[in-house]
Amino acid sequence: MNKAETAVQFLDRGCNCAQAILTAYAEDFDLDINKTLSLGAGFGAGLGRIQDVCGAVTGAIMVLGLKSNFTEEDGPEKINVVYGQVRSFVDAFTQKENSIKCRELLSGCDFSTEEGKKYFKENNLRDKCRSFIRLSCELLEK
């Protein structure tokens, strides 16, 4: 199974989008799944349900950081490489989806209201979340 489908399975088991991405990549970095679930817990639904930056995007950015293997000894040159990778990722995601903001990606659905939560369920917007997770994994694999 590829990373995208693994991440979607974690989403379907109740993880948020950031947790799903991080957990799909946990083995690659010898990370305990429970630690990735804890690390990603506050990033779902656009940063703690604020609906700002999509959890699939923030999860992917954390994976980019893990891939950099950044250490205390590393300096500005290495962090600039990571920043460039983040910009490239965000640009590619935005080119495909026109935004990285959760609320915009979900057509203005507002999680802070009962109507918004109902709209999310009735319109099966979780399918959109699945597509954002798949896209994030696809971009990470490039």
| pTM as predicted | 0.95
| pLDDT score at 14 | 96
CA 37 – CA 18 distance, rounded (Å): 9
Residue 53 carries which DSSP code? B
| pLDDT score at 76 | 86
Which tens digits make up the pLDDT trace of 62-91? 999 999 998 888 888 899 999 999 999 999
Q: For 21-50, give the secondary structure using H, E and C.
A: HHHHCHHHHCCCHHHHHHHHHHHHHHHCCC
Which tens digits make up the pLDDT trace of 3-34? 999 999 999 999 999 999 999 999 999 999 99
Cα–Cα distances in Å, from 52 out to 13, 31, 34, 96, 102? 23, 27, 25, 18, 5
CA 137 – CA 135 distance, rounded (Å): 5
Beta bridge partners of 53: 101
CA 34 – CA 17 distance, rounded (Å): 15
| pLDDT score at 1 | 80
